[in-house]
Amino acid sequence: MGTFRNGTTRFLKAAIRKKKIVTPNIIPRSEHNISRANISENAVKVLYRLHNAGYQAHLVGGGVRDLLLGHEPKDFDIATDASPEEVKAVFRNCRLIGRRFRLAHVHFGREIIEVATFRGMHEDSQLADRNADNGMLMRDNVYGTIEEDALRRDFTVNALYYNIEDFSVIDYTGGMVDLEKGLLRLLGDPATRYREDPVRMLRAVRFAAKLGFRIDRACEAPLPEMGVLLRSVPAARLFEEILKLFMSGTAVQAFEKLRHYNLFSQLFPETDECLAHEDHDFPITFVVRGLHNTDLRIREGKPVTPAFLFAVLLWEPVRRITELLMASGEPPFLAVQQSGAEVIARQIMHTSIPRRFSMPMREIWQLQHRFEQHGGKRAKRLLAHPRFRAAYDFLLLRAEAGEADNDLAKWWTDMQEAKPEVRSRMTDKEGPVTGARRRRRRRSKPAERGDV
Ligand code: ATP
Ligand code: MG
């Protein structure tokens, strides 16, 4: 495996500026671990078909990165010098998508292999496509060469190409060395790259959490200050990015890093405010436990829903406003309904939350109060509620974090496990914890990873 000497970054910056050709480091098949056996069959088919039609064909991005690390890639993206129309002509099962930048999607049943034509960044278009006020890249729709395609990617470890022609890995940016070091390094000047696309800040955190990599010093330094730029990112894109951050099995690490770099406050300002002013560790414990549960479920292959995740992330502001409203005489059910609506209305100005998720979120919150009144027919009605399971899991979390009564959580656990005749007996008595809301707060440290 070849190495890049010091000064690579400066050299690359100059190359990007002058559009100078960079000599790649080519790692032959014998010196890396990528085997065709680990690439999806359909992706291999697409690579060969393009190659046989006389085009360049490379696996690129996260697929190459993950294969080199011995992980299973989420998806396989392909880059080629064929134009989208030329790609379409090679495959019958191909559709062109995208207005801003046309991409070819080759369909194999449910699997879609994305094929992108090499993209470039031409000097004049760089100016024309940049928003004059904030430097954000509005369009990057110019085809280019493979080296230009490499240099416009985000991190060096994401800019590696697996060439189907000779099974070598092509490295224009020092990505191989960074991969070995476990280092996330942006291509070019970090502040400029974040300004072009602020989502790269979240990608840095996401890959650091997911891969256990370190963010290069020069790339982490601007994060706390530049986080405000996330405000200019469309709310829907942030929603998608949050799902990737928190639903990839390393949500706890992602949360801690987002807080560390002061980026969490840009995504969930109201929650962040509550966490900053906490006089107990409860809110943090609760969020960390919730995220930890999500991580465990993902690792066990169990389903996780964005509704539960967002219900956890926004619970503390909802809980606080509910308490205020109740203190001013609002009945609990109306109080939580109103606070939930308010918090969601403010949150969607930052990150969208599609209605199919915000509705169940509100139900999860509303059922929390109903758990406390389980006498008579109420308990059975609640058990039959379509959101019962999620709301019960939420109650368990609250109890674990010391915010809800453990006895109440236990009552509901027993209730579900009980035989029908025992259930009736349980609901005949009002039970131990109805009536006044009891809250026990623990003053212990936030949950350690792995200790739930
Ligand atoms: P994963 O799919 O595992 O989340 P990935 O690196 O494949 O990670 P994608 O979002 O699938 O991430 O993007 C594929 C590739 O496209 C990246 O590896 C990177 O080379 C490039 N890319 C994606 N987003 C950006 C961006 N905002 N700026 C520059 N390059 C990007
Ligand atoms: Mg990918």
DSSP state of 117: E
pLDDT, residue 430, reads 53
State the pTM of this model: 0.88
d(CA 226, CA 219): 11
77 is catalytic: yes
Question: Hey, what domains does the chain have and what are their CATH numbers?
Answer: 8-188 (3.30.460.10), 268-451 (1.10.3090.10)
pLDDT, residue 20, reads 59
> Which atom of ligand 1 approaches the CA of 193 most closely?
28
SS3 69: coil
Compute the distance from residue 62 Cα to the ligand 1 centre, in Å: 6
Compute the distance from residue 351 Cα to the ligand 2 centre, in Å: 22
- In this structure, the chain runs to a length of 452
Compute the distance from residue 320 Cα to the ligand 2 centre, in Å: 39
- For 76, the token pair is 């396989």
Compute the distance from residue 361 Cα to the ligand 2 centre, in Å: 29
d(CA 242, CA 254): 10
Which residues are in the CB-under-5-Å shell of ion ligand 2? 62, 75
- Give the Cβ contact number of residue 194 at 10 Å: 25
Which of 68, 148, 153 for mutating ligand 1's site (highest number of atoms within 8 Å of CB)? 153
- For 305, the token pair is 């829903």
SS3 173: coil
Compute the distance from residue 388 Cα to the ligand 1 centre, in Å: 38
CA-proximal residue: ligand 1, atom 7 (nearest): 62
CA-proximal residue: ligand 1, atom 8 (nearest): 62
> Which atom of ligand 1 approaches the CA of 66 most closely?
3
Q: Which ligand is nearest to the CA of 188?
A: 1
Which of 76, 156, 158 for mutating ligand 1's site (highest number of atoms within 8 Å of CB)? 158
> Which atom of ligand 1 approaches the CA of 75 most closely?
2
407 is catalytic: no
Tell me the backbone φ, ψ of residue 97, rounded to 5 degrees.
Answer: -130, 170
385-409 in b/e form (b: 16+ CB < 10 A) is eebbebbbbbbbbbbbbbbbbeebb
In sequence order, the 6+-apart residues with CB closer than 8 A to the CB of 252 are 288, 291, 292, 295, 449
- Determine whether the shortest distance from the Cβ of 71 to ligand 1 is under 6 A: no
Compute the distance from residue 77 Cα to the ligand 2 centre, in Å: 7
d(CA 254, CA 256): 6
List, in sequence order, every residue forming a beta bridge with 97; answer none if it has no partner. Answer: 103
- Report the first-to-last Cα separation within the chain, whole angstroms: 42
Compute the distance from residue 201 Cα to the ligand 2 centre, in Å: 17
250, 210 Cβ separation under 8 angstroms: yes
Q: Give, for all 452 residues of the chain, the pLDDT tens digit.
A: 344 444 455 656 666 555 556 789 999 999 999 999 999 999 999 999 999 999 999 999 999 999 999 999 999 999 999 999 999 999 999 999 998 789 999 999 999 999 999 998 754 444 445 566 666 665 556 889 999 999 999 999 999 999 999 999 999 999 999 999 999 999 999 999 999 999 999 999 999 999 999 999 999 999 999 999 999 999 999 999 999 999 999 999 999 999 999 999 999 999 999 998 766 677 888 999 999 999 999 999 999 999 999 999 999 999 999 999 999 999 999 999 999 999 999 999 999 999 999 999 999 999 999 888 877 778 888 888 889 999 999 999 999 999 999 999 998 888 888 777 777 777 766 554 444 444 444 444 443 333 32
Look up residue 299 and give its amino acid: R
- Determine whether the shortest distance from the Cβ of 316 to ligand 1 is under 6 A: no
129 is catalytic: no
- Give the Cβ contact number of residue 263 at 10 Å: 25
- Determine whether the shortest distance from the Cβ of 398 to ligand 1 is under 6 A: no
**CB-hemisphere CA count at 13 Å for 291?**
27
CA-proximal residue: ligand 1, atom 2 (nearest): 62
- Determine whether the shortest distance from the Cβ of 61 to ligand 1 is under 6 A: yes
CA-proximal residue: ligand 1, atom 3 (nearest): 62
Helices (H) and strands (E) in the chain, counts: 23, 12
Q: What angle do CA 11, 14, 15 make, to 5 degrees?
A: 85
> Which of the residues 66, 81, 149, 154 is marked catalytic?
154
388, 382 Cβ separation under 8 angstroms: yes
- Determine whether the shortest distance from the Cβ of 114 to ligand 1 is under 6 A: no
428, 422 Cβ separation under 8 angstroms: no
Q: Among 125, 91, 119, 118, which Cα is nearest to 105's? A: 91
